[in-house]
Structure formats: C-alpha cells, structure tokens
Structure 1
Amino acid sequence: MTNYTTLQQLMNSFRQGLFFNLSNSEWKLPNGIARLLEVDETGCCWFLFHVNAEQAVNYDQEFPARIRLYEKGRDCYVEANGKGVILTDPEDWAACSKISYGMAQALRYHGLIVRFRIQHATVTETGRSSRRNFLQRIMDDINVWASGRSIAEKVYPASVLSH
C-alpha cells in the first residue's frame, strides 16, 4: 500500500473538516465547517458547504486554502494546504462518486461544492507523550530540537500526493 493510499483512507474516515480560505480577496468563501464528501485517487478532497449557491457567484473561484480534519476522540488529526476551486457546473461534480443525481439537483439551489487539491499534508498524533516514559519523552524533545518538527507528525510532501 502506498503512502498516499494510507493518507487517503485516513482522510476518508473523517466526516467534517475546518476549511480556511487563505485568499486576501474581499469576496471570498468564508472560513467554516464543511462536510467531507470524498478524498479521491487524484489527490483532491471534495467538500460540501451549506451556502446559498447565488452567493457563490461573487466569490473567487480559485483560492489558496488549508483544511484541518479533526474529530473528538480520534488519536490523530490531518492538516493540509492546497488550492480550492468552487465548482458550480454539475458536469464537474460527476468526478466525485459521492454526489448522486438527487444531491446534484438539490445543489443547484442550496449548497456549494469545493474541490481542494492537496499540495502538502501532515498527520499529527494526539496524546503521544502520555504513552511515552520519561526517557522516551527526553529523546523526543531532543529530536524536536534537532529536526525542528514534532516526532508525532508524519509529513506527506507534494511528490507523494501527485502519484
């Protein structure tokens, strides 16, 4: 199993995510919670926003973005940077297997689909230090000091994501 397949399966196990629009534009999709529909084989995440489709006409159609997939009780969370694209054409939605015909009909009037292309992803374990003994925590701290990043993080660079 490749690294991306493992990341894809992990991300698909989440239901919602925090979506951050990093654009400096005045008319931009607001930050908020979005429903994760699917993470596909091409390195794209498909999100559903509960926003009036008429408002989407005013938003930037492409923008830099960041997502954070986190659920209470999970032993990790995923953060990713990339580019978001607002899709308003039902033909574009066909690439997402989770959008049914009925859902597509409803999205014409209420809801917004954003395709997020992952450029860099990081999976971080939560609660790792509570499972480590004193010596292991000291070694972790030395590793953080030497490398500049936490031992609980697994980084997926762009080369892995664009397989």
Structure 2
Amino acid sequence: MSASQQTQQLTFLQEKIEQIGSAIFFNQSESVLKLPTSLVSNIKVDDFGYMWFFVQKPKQNLQEFDNEFPVRMDFFKKGLITFCR
C-alpha cells in the first residue's frame, strides 16, 4: 500500500470518527481487574493513527491495572447511517 493510500485511509477514518463523536469502550483483557465498559467521547485520531480519549477514573489505584490491554470500540451515532467497529 502506498503512502498516499495510507494517508487517504487515515483521513477517512479521522473524519468518520470525528463525525460520530462517541463510542462504547470494551476492555477485552483477561485480567481480573480491568477498566469497565463505558461510553467515551472527545475522541481524536492523530496523524499516526492513534486514538486519544478519556475514560472515567476507576475507584481502584491505577497502578493495579495493566498498562496495555486490547479493547474494542463500537462507534455509532443515532440518526447517522455510518457506524464503525
């Protein structure tokens, strides 16, 4: 895939995610202690393709959680035909 195609795909995803604006965050870790499923908003996709967003801080000490873990995010906005998983 050429750099131009990658840039075009990234731009498309950035626009769609900005248009939708929120997603359901699912932590798919096998850990006993993990961040709960939650609604996230103010999602930004940077020029490297990383998504940035905030989740509500859990009551437990953050050092007890895994630093990295797999997630699934379902993007959907009522009234829009577009969705992304």
TM over 0.5: yes
Cα gap change, 1:54/1:25 in structure 2, threshold over 3 Å: closer, same or farther?
closer
**Letter of the 2:62 counterpart:** A
Instruction: Say if 1:29 and 1:60, in contact at 8 Å, map to a contact too.
Output: no
Aligned equivalent of 1:50, options 36, 51, 56:
56
CA distance in 2, matches of 1:13, 1:55: 34
Q: Which residue of 1 aligns with 2:24?
A: 18
Once the two structures are TM-superposed, the CA of residue 59 in structure 1 deviates from its matched residue by 1.2
Q: State TM-score, norm by structure 2.
A: 0.79
Worse-matched range after superposition: 23-32 or 8-17: 8-17
Q: Name which one, 1 or 2, has greater alpha-carbon Rg.
A: 1
**Letter of the 1:31 counterpart:** T
Q: Which residue of 2 aligns with 1:78?
A: 84
5 Å-filtered alignment, 1:101-120, equals: none
What is the percent sequence identity of the aligned residues?
A: 29
Of Structure 1 and Structure 2, the greater strand share is in: 1
Q: State TM-score, norm by structure 1.
A: 0.44
Instruction: Say if 2:17 and 2:43, in contact at 8 Å, map to a contact too.
Output: no
Residue ranges of structure 2 left out of the alignment (5+ in a row): 1-6
Between Structure 1 and Structure 2, how many residues are aligned?
79
Once the two structures are TM-superposed, the CA of residue 64 in structure 1 deviates from its matched residue by 0.8
Once the two structures are TM-superposed, the CA of residue 5 in structure 1 deviates from its matched residue by 0.9
CA distance in 2, matches of 1:58, 1:40: 28
Aligned equivalent of 2:65, options 59, 65, 69:
59
Q: What is the CA RMSD across the aligned residues, in angstroms?
A: 1.8
**Letter of the 2:76 counterpart:** Y
**Letter of the 1:6 counterpart:** F
Once the two structures are superposed, residues 56-90 of structure 1 have per-residue CA deviations (whole angstroms, 9 ceiling, x without a partner) of 222111001110111100111011xxxxxxxxxxx
- Which of 1 and 2 has higher RCO (CA within 8 Å, sep 6+)? 2
